[in-house]
C-alpha cells in the first residue's frame, strides 16, 4: 500500500516558494483519417478494427502526411500568435511502450511547424495573464493499454493487459508553453484558465471536439518550486494526461504542496512522470522522466519535409473565425452585460451554451438564468463541467418556451430539466411521461379552490375582511392539491373572485 504523502499547508508553500509551471496540451484533430494512413479517425469502436499495416508499423508500409492535419496545425499556430515555419520536418522519437506499435513515435523535434506564440488568459476576477507558447508541433497518438483486474485500472495489481490500436496514428498537435512564472498563489487557477481558454479557442477553430472525457484534449502539467532566494528553477515533475479542467487545477495545487513538504525536510524532488488520481486529487509516482537524449531523435526518412508557402499561410489566416475573446466582447455589448455578469458566465463556462440557447429562441436573460443558476448548480453537484450535462442548448430553449407559453411553471420546468438530465427524452416527452402540464382548466382549479376555502374558513374570512395577503395560504393548498401544476397567478385571481362573490 502506498504511503500517504506529507503535504505543506498551501499558504506556507506560497510564503516559502515560487511555483514554475509548464503545460503541455495534446489535441487530437478531427480529421476524417489518421495522420499517416487512410484509416478512419473516429473515437471508440471494436478494438483493433481501425488499423492498417501503416499505423501498425508493419514491414514494408510507408506513411503519407495528412494534408488536413497540416492545415489544422497551421491554423492553430496562427490563432496562438505563433510564427509558422517556412520549412520543417518530422522526426522519430524512439522509446518502447506496448501501446506504440512501431516502438517510435513520428513527431517533430527541433523543427516544429509553429513556435514563439502566446495566449492571453482571463482569470476569474478579470485579471489577464499572458502565457507564452514555446511551440505547437505535429505528431501521432499512441494506442491504448487496458489493464484488466486490480482496483485502480492501472498496471499495478492488474492480472493482464490488452492493447487497442484504434487510436494509434490519430493526428495530434502538442502545444507546449514556455515556463510560466510569477503567478504565485494563483498558479493552479492560471493552469486551469489556460487549458480552458485553449479548449475554447480550439473549439472555435473547429479542429477538434476537445472532449477531455474521451481523451481528445489532454494536459501534462509540469510543476517545480523555487525557494524565494533561488535563481534557478527547481526539479520538475510531469503529471501526465490530466483529463478535466478541474483536475488540472487540483493536480498543480497538490504537486505544489507535496514538493514543498519534501523540500522543507531537506529532501530532493525526483524528475519523474506522475499519475493524477481523480478519486482523491493526489498524484502517484510513474517512471523516471526521460531527457531528449534518451529518445534518440533523428529525422524521419520516409517523409519529405513540409514547406508551407507564405501565400497558403495567409489564405489559412483568412479562414480564422471570430476569436473567443472577440466574441465575448461582442456578446457583452449586444446583451448589455456588466463586467460582473460576463465574469459569471465565464466562470461557469457558459458563454457558448447561453449563446446557442439564444440562437435557439430564448432571450439572453432567460438563457443566462438557467445556465448560470440551475444548471451550473447541477454541474457542481455532479462534479462535471457544464458542457458535460446531458442537456443541449436547444432543449433548454424548449423548456424556456414552455414556461413562456404558460404550459409550465418555473417549478415544473425544473422537474422537466431533471427528466431530460436523467435521459427520459426531450422536454415535451418528459412533460407527457411525467404528466407535468400546468392545470389551466378553470373548472378544475375552482374545484380545488373551493375545497381549500372550505378546509380553512378562517383564512377565507380574513380575505373577506381585506387581508388579501392571506390568500397565499389558499394558493399554497391549491398548489399542493394539484401537485404544483396550477398557475399560481390564476389561482390567486380565482380565490379573490370566489371570496368576493
How many of the other CB atoms lie within 10 Å of CB of 58?
A: 12
pLDDT at residue number 469: 74
**C-alpha–C-alpha distance, residues 136 and 219, integer Å:** 14
Among left, alpha and beta (phi > 0; psi -120 to 50; other), residue 343 is alpha
Q: What pLDDT was estimated at residue 1?
A: 39
More confident call, 115 vs 436: 115
pLDDT of residue 190: 98
Q: What is the pLDDT of residue 126?
A: 84
Residue 56's pLDDT is: 95
Q: What is the pLDDT of residues 25-48, one digit of tens each?
A: 999 999 999 999 999 999 989 999
What pLDDT band is residue 368 in, cutting at 50, 70 and 90?
Answer: very high
SS (H, E, C) 180-240: ECCCHHHHHHHHHHHHHHHHHHHHHHCCCCCCHHHCCEEEEEEEEEEECCCCCCCCCEEEE
Q: Does CATH place domain 442-500 in 1.10.10.410?
A: yes
Q: Is the pLDDT of residue 414 over 80?
A: yes
Q: Which of 66-70, 77-81, 432-436 has the lowest mean pLDDT?
A: 432-436
> pLDDT digits over 389-406, tens only?
999 999 999 999 988 887
- Give 134-190 pLDDT, tens digit per residue: 999 999 999 998 888 877 667 777 888 899 999 999 999 999 999 999 999 999 999
Instruction: Report the range of poorest mean pLDDT among 107-111, 113-117, 465-469.
Output: 465-469
Q: Could you tell me what percent of the chain has a pLDDT over 70? A: 90
DSSP E strand stretches across 271-429: 272-277, 282-288, 298-299
> Could you report the per-residue pLDDT of 243-254, keeping only the tens digit for each?
899 999 999 999
Q: Tell me the CA distances in angstroms from 87 to 22, 67, 247, 305, one per residue in order.
A: 26, 15, 37, 7
Task: Give tens-digit pLDDT for 439-454.
Answer: 555 555 666 666 777 7
Q: What does pTM read for this prediction?
A: 0.79
Whole-number pLDDT of residue 403: 86
Q: What is the pLDDT of residue 75?
A: 98
User: In whole numbers, what is the pLDDT of the chain averaged over residues?
Assistant: 89
pLDDT tens digits for 116-135?
999 999 898 889 999 999 99
* Nearest in space to 10 (alpha carbons), one of 220, 243, 225, 196: 225
Looking at per-residue pLDDT, the higher value among 437 and 133 belongs to 133
pLDDT tens figures, 449-500: 667 777 777 777 677 666 767 777 776 776 776 666 666 666 676 677 677 6
Q: Which residue has the higher pLDDT, 456 or 227?
A: 227
pLDDT attached to residue 446: 66
- Is residue 160 within a helix (H) or strand (E), and if so which, with residue range? strand 160-164
Q: What is the pLDDT of residue 159?
A: 86
Report the percentage of the chain scoring pLDDT > 90.
65
Tell me the per-residue pLDDT of 280-328, one tens digit each, with 9 for 90 and over.
999 998 888 767 778 899 999 999 999 999 999 999 999 999 999 899 8
- pLDDT of 106 over the 60 cut: yes
Domain-by-domain residue ranges, the chain? 10-312, 322-434, 442-500
Amino acid at each position: 500500500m502506498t504511503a500517504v504523502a506529507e503535504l505543506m499547508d498551501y499558504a506556507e508553500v506560497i510564503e516559502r516558494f515560487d511555483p514554475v509551471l509548464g503545460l503541455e496540451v495534446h489535441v487530437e484533430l478531427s480529421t476524417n483519417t489518421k495522420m499517416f494512413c487512410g484509416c478512419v479517425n473516429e473515437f471508440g469502436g471494436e478494438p483493433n478494427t481501425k488499423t492498417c499495416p501503416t499505423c501498425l508499423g508493419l514491414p514494408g508500409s510507408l506513411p503519407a502526411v495528412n494534408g488536413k492535419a497540416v492545415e489544422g496545425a497551421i491554423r492553430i499556430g496562427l490563432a496562438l500568435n505563433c510564427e509558422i515555419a517556412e520549412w520543417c520536418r518530422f522526426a522519430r522519437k524512439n522509446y518502447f511502450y506496448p501501446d506504440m506499435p512501431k516502438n517510435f513515435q513520428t513527431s517533430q523535434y527541433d523543427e516544429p511547424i509553429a513556435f514563439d506564440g502566446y495566449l492571453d488568459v482571463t482569470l476569474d476576477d478579470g485579471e489577464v495573464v499572458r502565457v507564452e507558447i514555446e511551440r505547437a508541433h505535429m505528431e501521432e497518438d499512441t494506442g491504448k493499454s487496458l489493464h484488466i483486474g486490480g482496483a485502480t485500472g492501472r498496471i499495478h495489481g492488474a492480472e493482464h493487459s490488452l492493447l487497442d490500436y484504434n487510436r494509434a496514428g490519430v493526428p495530434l498537435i502538442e502545444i507546449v508553453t514556455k515556463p510560466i512564472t510569477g503567478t504565485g498563489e494563483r498558479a493552479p487557477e492560471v493552469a486551469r484558465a489556460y487549458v480552458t481558454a485553449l479548449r475554447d479557442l480550439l473549439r472555435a477553430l473547429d479542429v477538434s471536439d476537445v472532449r477531455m472525457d474521451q481523451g481528445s484534449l489532454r494536459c501534462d502539467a509540469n510543476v517545480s518550486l523555487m525557494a524565494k532566494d533561488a535563481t534557478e528553477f527547481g526539479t520538475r515533475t510531469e503529471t501526465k494526461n490530466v483529463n478535466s479542467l478541474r483536475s488540472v487545477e487540483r493536480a498543480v495545487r497538490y504537486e505544489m504542496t507535496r514538493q514543498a513538504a519534501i523540500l522543507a525536510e531537506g529532501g530532493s524532488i525526483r524528475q519523474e512522470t506522475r499519475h493524477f488520481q481523480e478519486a482523491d486529487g493526489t498524484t502517484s509516482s510513474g517512471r523516471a522522466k526521460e531527457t531528449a537524449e534518451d529518445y534518440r531523435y533523428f529525422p524521419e526518412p520516409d517523409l519529405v519535409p513540409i514547406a508551407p508557402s507564405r501565400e497558403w499561410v495567409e489564405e489559412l489566416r483568412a479562414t480564422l473565425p471570430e476569436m473567443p475573446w472577440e466574441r465575448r466582447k461582442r456578446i457583452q455589448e449586444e446583451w448589455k452585460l456588466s463586467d460582473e455578469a460576463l465574469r459569471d458566465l465565464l466562470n461557469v463556462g457558459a458563454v457558448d451554451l447561453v449563446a446557442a440557447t439564444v440562437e435557439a429562441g430564448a432571450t439572453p436573460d432567460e438563457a443566462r438564468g438557467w445556465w448560470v443558476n440551475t444548471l451550473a448548480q447541477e454541474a457542481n453537484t455532479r462534479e462535471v463541467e457544464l458542457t458535460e450535462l446531458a442537456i443541449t442548448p436547444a432543449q433548454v430553449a424548449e423548456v424556456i418556451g414552455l414556461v413562456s407559453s404558460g404550459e409550465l411553471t418555473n417549478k415544473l420546468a425544473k422537474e422537466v430539466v431533471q427528466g431530460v438530465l436523467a435521459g427520459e427524452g426531450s422536454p415535451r416527452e418528459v412533460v407527457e411521461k411525467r404528466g407535468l402540464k400546468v392545470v389551466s382548466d378553470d373548472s378544475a382549479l375552482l374545484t380545488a379552490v373551493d375545497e381549500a376555502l372550505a378546509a380553512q374558513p378562517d383564512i377565507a374570512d380574513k380575505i373577506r375582511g381585506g387581508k388579501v395577503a392571506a390568500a397565499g395560504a389558499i394558493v399554497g393548498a391549491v398548489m399542493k392539491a394539484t401537485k404544483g401544476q396550477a398557475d399560481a397567478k390564476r389561482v390567486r385571481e380565482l380565490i379573490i373572485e370566489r371570496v368576493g362573490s
